[in-house]
């Protein structure tokens, strides 16, 4: 007896949805979710909802770290982050680039932490210890970007 068997594909189809940018508070720049996905090299298995939720969490985290710094710049008359005097790199403000870096690092850390399969190789050979160190490195990168924006040192030492 012969027959035709069709097994469903376990690989999700490539995403064709357009991911709308995340509107920020008006002072910090909006976050382009599509370019965030590309820069973080996220597969289509990370749904737009997951990515958007993690990016929103990252925006909140970075914003909370910059509350006093932002207030001082706004009080000095700067209408947005892009209006704060800073060196230009590739046509963009250094501060805007650092902000984007911080948001991206915290976004990826949140995704890897919550969805352990996001940062695994195709063969799935990375162990949890390697993922934990990856999460710590991503959070460190986000913190360094914020500290670079504030122009404070990256090292904090306390005598016990």
Residue 42: which of 100, 110, 92 has the closest Cα? 110
- As a whole number, mean pLDDT of residues 34-49 equals 89
pTM of the full predicted structure? Answer: 0.80
- Domain ranges (residues) in the chain: 33-150
Coil/strand/helix, residue 58: helix
pLDDT at position 158 over 50: yes
What angle do helix axes 33-40 and 94-114 make, rounded to 10 degrees? 70
- Provide φ and ψ at 92, rounded to 5°: -125, 150
**Cα 24 from Cα 78, distance rounded (Å):** 16
Average pLDDT over residues 77-95: 97
What token pair was written down for 93?
């403000």
Residue 159 pLDDT: 78
Tens of pLDDT, residue by residue over 137-151, are 999 999 999 999 999
């Amino acid at each position: 007896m012969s027959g035709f068997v069709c097994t469903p594909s376990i690989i999700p189809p490539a995403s064709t949805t357009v991911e709308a940018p995340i509107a920020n508070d008006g002072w910090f720049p909006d976050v382009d979710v599509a370019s965030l996905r590309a820069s973080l090299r996220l597969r289509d298995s990370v749904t737009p909802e997951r990515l958007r939720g993690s990016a929103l969490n990252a925006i909140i985290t970075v914003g909370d770290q910059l509350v006093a710094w932002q207030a001082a710049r706004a009080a000095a008359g700067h209408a947005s982050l892009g209006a704060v005097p800073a060196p230009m790199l590739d046509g963009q403000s250094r501060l805007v680039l650092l902000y984007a870096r911080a948001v991206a690092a915290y976004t990826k850390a949140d995704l890897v932490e919550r969805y352990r399969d996001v940062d695994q190789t195709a063969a799935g050979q990375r162990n949890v210890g390697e993922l934990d160190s990856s999460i710590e490195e991503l959070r460190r990168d986000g913190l360094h970007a914020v500290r670079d924006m504030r122009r404070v040192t990256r090292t904090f030492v306390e005598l016990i």
